[in-house]
């Protein structure tokens, strides 16, 4: 029989072994253990048929229907599983750690593989995600107006050996109306939480963690309340980059994309810009004056951002003379060392 593992042990093994999620494609799309491969016992339609039979007829009839469906697929299941690993060990889970993962694990063991299953299934993993994200971390929130290069600064801090969480990378969105341009499709909020948890789990709780200032939602992905609350209480540092430098950065980042996407994003914030500013931004797009578009839209975004931070104490303001993420990261790191950010002492505010 497959060896049952606790969620903690299962995730530890998952660092080096392939994980097979045997739930339906619809369940997998809603959220899954990052890195898992979906080899569904049933399609979405087949799962619905088995469930209906279970509820309306009987459990034995549902079991027989399931066997009829799975039987012709069994050899292909083994081939797919073996293709995932150079060795013979593999991890398997379903929703509750019951019949689906147990039967799939039995099949693979019959084919000569060593299998471990997740006690409680994906449901138990989700419980651990929500509990784990409530564990405290020594966050430092990196703020700044749109176009300040905060994401690049985070990457430079990581290169300097700092712990970093890049929420925009996990959410595949940069936060603004233009934030989905050039990004992969966004995950569900559930899967966003799953990815965030695995990064959260790897953080040393005794060292500071840099994270970008975000609203509660990053595109369609909603930050867990526990993480959001920690961010609101964490030291806030601001990068004050001159507006002309921010405009230059935004032009570099967005002017290379299909202009139809820029029109769509600008139309989405028509009410927030106001009729006159929206009209001016569209006319600037018509003549391909991307700098003018950036300047107009920053009028709204700067006001919105300042409103969001005005009631929060700022621990440090960095005012770089150039748009140089590496230099800014070093300056922030120097401040953090002086201020004792990852110690228990009170933060020195500048």
94 is a catalytic site residue: yes
Q: What are the Cα distances from residue 55, in Å, to 65, 142, 192, 237?
A: 13, 52, 33, 56
Q: What are the Cα distances from residue 346, in Å, to 88, 136, 341?
A: 53, 17, 8
Q: Are strands 3-5 and 316-318 parallel, antiparallel or unpaired?
A: unpaired
Taking alpha carbons only, the member of 167, 108, 136 closest to residue 344 is: 136
Cβ atoms within 10 Å, residue 117: 26
Retrieve residue 17's tokens.
């072994």
Taking alpha carbons only, the member of 246, 240, 242 closest to residue 293 is: 246
Retrieve residue 300's tokens.
């709204």
Residues forming beta bridges with residue 38, ordered by sequence position? 21
Catalytic residue, from 94, 221, 256, 318: name it.
94
Rounded Cα–Cα distance for residues 213 and 232 (Å): 9
Ramachandran class of 125: left when φ > 0, alpha when ψ lies in -120 to 50, beta otherwise? alpha
Retrieve residue 95's tokens.
């929703």
Taking alpha carbons only, the member of 168, 152, 156, 164 closest to residue 203 is: 164
Catalytic residue annotation = 94
């Amino acid at each position: 029989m497959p060896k049952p593992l606790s969620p903690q042990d299962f995730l530890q093994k998952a660092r080096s072994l392939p994980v097979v999620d045997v739930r339906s494609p619809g369940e997998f799309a809603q959220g899954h253990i990052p890195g898992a491969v979906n080899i569904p016992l049933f399609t979405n339609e087949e799962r619905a048929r088995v469930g209906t039979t279970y509820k309306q007829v009987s459990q034995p009839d549902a079991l027989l229907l399931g066997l009829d469906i799975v039987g012709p697929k069994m050899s292909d299941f083994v081939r797919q599983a073996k293709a995932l690993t150079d060795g013979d060990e593999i991890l398997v889970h379903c929703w509750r750690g019951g019949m689906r993962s147990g039967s799939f694990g039995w099949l693979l063991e019959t084919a000569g593989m060593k299998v471990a299953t997740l006690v409680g299934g994906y449901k138990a993993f989700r419980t651990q995600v929500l509990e784990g994200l409530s564990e405290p971390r020594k966050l430092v929130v990196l703020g700044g107006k749109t176009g300040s290069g905060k994401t690049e600064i985070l990457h430079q801090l990581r290169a300097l050996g700092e712990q970093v969480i890049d929420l925009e990378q996990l959410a595949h969105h940069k936060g603004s109306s233009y934030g989905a341009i050039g990004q992969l499709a966004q995950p569900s909020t559930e899967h966003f939480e799953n990815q965030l948890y695995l990064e959260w789990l790897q953080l040393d709780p005794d060292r500071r963690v840099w994270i970008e200032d975000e609203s509660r939602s990053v595109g369609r992905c909603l930050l867990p309340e526990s993480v959001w609350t920690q961010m609101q209480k964490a030291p806030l540092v601001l990068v004050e980059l001159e507006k002309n430098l921010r405009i230059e950065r935004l032009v570099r980042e967005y002017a290379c994309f299909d202009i139809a996407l820029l029109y769509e994003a600008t139309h989405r914030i028509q009410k927030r810009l106001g009729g006159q500013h929206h009209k001016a931004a569209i006319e600037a797009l018509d003549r391909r004056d991307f700098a003018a578009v950036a300047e107009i839209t920053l009028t709204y975004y700067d006001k919105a951002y300042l409103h969001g931070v005005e009631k929060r104490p700022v621990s440090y303001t960095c005012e770089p003379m150039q748009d140089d993420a590496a230099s800014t990261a070093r300056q922030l790191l120097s401040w953090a060392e002086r201020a004792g950010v990852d110690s228990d002492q009170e933060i020195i505010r500048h």
